[in-house]
Structure 1
Amino acid sequence: MHKRYQRQAILPQLGKEGQEKLRKAKVLVVGAGGLGSPILTYLAAMGIGTIGIVEFDTIDISNLNRQFLYKEREVGQPKITIAIERLKEQNPHLCYVAHSFYLNEENILELFPQYDIIVDGSDNFKTRYLINDACVITKRPLVSGAIYQFQGQVSVFNYKGGPTYRCIFPEPPSALEAPTCATAGIIGATAGLIASYQVMEVVKIIGEMGNILSGKLLVVDLLQMEHQTIQFKLQPVNQAIEQLTPIPDEYCEIKSEEKVAVNQIDHWQDLHPKGVMIDLREDYEREEHTIKDAQWCPLHELPEIVNTLPEDQPILLFCQNGIKSKTAYQWLKEKNDKLILRELEGGLEQ
């Protein structure tokens, strides 16, 4: 046994036998972002023998408040390449496997059987439901985490035939009910804490010790410093999944019928003098750039004005990077399909 693992191997609950189990384990982490970054760091530090990573995104400057695997000079580079370089520096004695593709119905069922445990560090509901269903079909335990502002959730699904993600969240939420870190914000420490909980569940599963969070959802509120555990039971129908069913686009993913480029704003205003422009940004985002005659309505306040919007004039939704406008577009479509909606493609920063 390598000396680097001495401090954990002296734990009576783990010991040398447990450390050997960690060495032989194969763990797949989906996502190398806010959750995935600290998850991967701890898994590598404790000696998980084979670590697979699913990631296709590149590093953005906004990632750096919580994704400590990356540095500012690496902005624009593939996350998976830098992550593996950094992990090898940390612990070169392990096997790191890069899966640099978008997880989908065509590749997931071939990938999951290569690993013992799946750890979900994704940031969208469509991927979470896909991962859950694939874990049921391939009979793999799923260690799940989710973060939102100062809050987080952790659970273990499909553990030894136990409750699944769908047993507590049967259906995906609408776009406005499912904000991302980009639209709602996130404190880096929230991601770090939830990731640590996920890693502990991985260790407990491999080492066959402790109380596994199966049939239990741990909810953490760091602003109020409160922890709550929600119990839920297996619904047998959710263990009977035999094939993957794609999540419809109206859930979780947002598509618009017409987009306006940022350099077309003046022209759009000339064409639609009675049109409505809605600025969905937060107050701090409006310090550098405002648009004349635009109505300011932060995304979370949209329900307060929905009934005041005209049905006979086009409505142009815009934000800083295009994410909030996509969310608003889908939500407004669901509330009133008579609205003539347009969105500013890519937001003002394009």
Structure 2
Amino acid sequence: MGELRSVGNCLYAQTVTIRATNKCGLTTEASVTFTWQYDPVPPVVNNVPENHKLPCNTRPSCDLVIALFNIEAKDNCDPNPTLNCEAGPIEQIGPCEFRQSFTFWAVDKCGNRSADYVTVMLWKEDTEPPVLHNVPEGGDLGCNPTDLPECDPNVTATDNCTENVNVICTPSPIITIGCLRLQYFTYTAADECGNAASQTVLYWWTVDTTPPIVRCPDDITVQLQPGDCFAEVVYRAKAHDDCDPTVREAVCNPPSGTFFEIGQHTVTCSATDRCGNTGTCSFTVTVYGYICGLKFEDLNGNGTRDPGEPGVEGWTIILLASDGVTVLQTTQTGPDGSFCFFGLLRGTYFVVEEDRPGWVHTTPRSRQIDLPRDCGKQVVFGNRRTR
């Protein structure tokens, strides 16, 4: 029997030589070499972690754990020992919390079995986002608010799996569109598994301290016609506001369609925008009155015009101011003896007829007229011929 020798990697060899001699003294021999592996050392399992927390909603398996941690079996003699894994039952240990144990061992080709290597995987299963509470409604803050919106500290969040969920409020920059201001507030809450809830609140308000522009019509002049003591005047004032498009018409006082008496009247028109800014303008309505009358020949001299008494044409009638001296207008009677003075404002006037030779007055020569009180009152002068 030959010497026992190592041929590498736990392999050993020994040669056995067999000789045979017959009775004639002839000898022959044959040699056989035996090779075998000698391995009393069990394999080991490397990279098995201690208890490990996996990402949410990651249900483990043997293959996943092996790949995740690069678990491998090593042996001093077997280059490819068999790695074995056994998964334990899944246990729920809390709300949404689970664990599962995994046992690893290895066996080499000599049948040596390694020790058991045990690790526990922990994870959460949660696909529901948190719920936000007390989120403000936002809305219209009106005009020129003194307090601008801020993140509301009363907003909270709850979650079915995560006990304490923080709420993050992100305000946008204030957006300016003309007089309108907009600002968004986004409230976000995320649980441990990354499920997020988000809600955006919009506030808007108007910045406007400028009153509307009101455009009144030009001053209006109306001349009353004989028989009328009031004039219906129609007008319209337009308005414009840079911030309130609903402002288009102004409200006038007195309103359009008012019947004005003789005199000068101030009309004030105003428009108010939704922020309470008021713009005004004014114009004047001037209504001119008249004084009309008749000059007749008083045939019977009774001071009253009777049927058949004709009007006198071409007689000079004078209109004096309230001082009774200043001449305002002069006119001549018409073919029928009538006359009128126009363009008269409110006040006291005196109407005087001229003296003419050969005629005597049968009615007062001067008459006082107060406008608008005496509007429409006819002034009648009677005269009788003396020759």
TM-score in terms of structure 1 length: 0.20
Q: More helix by proportion, 1 or 2? A: 1
| Higher-Rg member (1/2) | 2
TM-score in terms of structure 2 length: 0.19
